[in-house]
């Protein structure tokens, strides 16, 4: 399954949040879940419980919760931190979709994953820049990441210009369609499931990206394994051009 097919697969797993007898809460819920792969719809019934909602997928029940409970301020725990009233819903949504991100928003989202890799300082970081000319603007950042001895850094891009000569990280130059159309950053968490994260998007119109980010270990591992098996070939520790 290609990167584009993975995005389509996440897109197809859209959930439905049906709000019963609480039309006044629908807009608040749509705003709250605007960046989730979730449709919020309102239903009014003459009988049955008031102000509750049901999360479903393809007609299959996933969870239910009271509207007022969901919209209430979190109660402080004994440690002084608030619990998340949205957790019953979020537990059933692994990936977060976004639409029409521009390059600035994509760069900001990428920085979050790069920062996590820097803090952990180990494992593998994989990043796709579409074109070498785009990667050139990030050479300082990726050279710094690549200077961490325990962190293996792989970058991917189409060779629209000469591949930079450097040894801090690996450059896999490839003209495959999914490389030229996709922007991605994935960190394997150095083996720690809670540290794994990935951002994956495709450019569906010039300068506008559609995709998702995920903290689901299986999804992150799939992205990284796909990149390894498709584009990483007997690296010798320096930049390479795939023939």
Can you give the residue ranges of every domain in the chain?
Answer: 3-93, 96-235
Higher-pLDDT residue of 57, 143:
143
pTM for the model: 0.72
% the chain with pLDDT above 90:
49
Measured N-to-C along each axis, helices 139-146 and 103-120 cross at an angle, to the nearest 10 degrees, of 20
Please tell us whether the domain made up of 96-235 is placed in CATH 3.30.870.10: yes
Higher-pLDDT residue of 72, 59:
59
pLDDT of residue 55: 83
pLDDT of residue 80: 39
What average pLDDT is seen over the chain?
84
79 phi-psi bin (left φ>0, alpha ψ -120 to 50, beta other) = alpha
Which CATH architecture is the domain 3-93 placed in?
3-Layer(aba) Sandwich (3.40)
Task: Provide DSSP, 48-105.
Answer: S-SSEEEEEETTEEEEEEEHHHHHSPPPB-TTSPBP-TTHHHHTT--EEEEEEE-HHH
Q: Any idea which of 90-104, 183-197, 220-234 has the lowest mean pLDDT?
A: 90-104
How sure is the predictor about 9, in pLDDT bands with cuts at 50, 70 and 90?
confident
Q: What is the mean pLDDT of residues 59-66?
A: 84
140 phi-psi bin (left φ>0, alpha ψ -120 to 50, beta other) = alpha
pLDDT of residue 4: 86
């Amino acid at each position: 399954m290609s990167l584009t097919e993975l995005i389509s697969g996440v897109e197809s797993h859209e959930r439905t949040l049906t709000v019963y007898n609480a039309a006044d809460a629908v807009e608040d819920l749509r705003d709250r879940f605007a960046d989730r792969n979730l449709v919020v719809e309102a239903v009014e019934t003459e009988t049955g419980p008031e102000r509750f909602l049901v999360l479903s997928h393809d007609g299959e029940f996933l969870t239910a919760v009271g509207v007022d409970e969901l919209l209430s301020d979190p109660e402080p725990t004994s440690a002084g931190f608030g619990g998340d009233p949205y957790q019953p819903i979020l537990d059933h949504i692994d990936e977060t979709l976004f639409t029409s991100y521009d390059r600035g928003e994509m760069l900001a989202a990428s920085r979050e994953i790069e920062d996590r890799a820097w803090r952990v300082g180990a494992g593998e970081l994989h990043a796709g820049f579409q074109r070498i000319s785009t990667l050139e603007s990030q050479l300082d950042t990726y050279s710094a990441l690549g200077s961490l001895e325990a962190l293996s850094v792989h970058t991917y891009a189409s060779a629209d210009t000469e591949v930079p000569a450097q040894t801090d990280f690996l450059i896999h130059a490839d003209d495959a369609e999914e490389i030229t159309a996709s922007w991605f950053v994935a960190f394997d968490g150095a083996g720690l499931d809670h540290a794994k994260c990935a951002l994956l998007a495709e450019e569906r119109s010039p300068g506008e990206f559609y995709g998702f980010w995920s903290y689901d270990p299986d999804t992150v591992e799939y992205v990284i394994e796909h990149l390894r098996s498709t584009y990483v070939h007997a690296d010798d520790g320096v930049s390479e051009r795939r023939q």
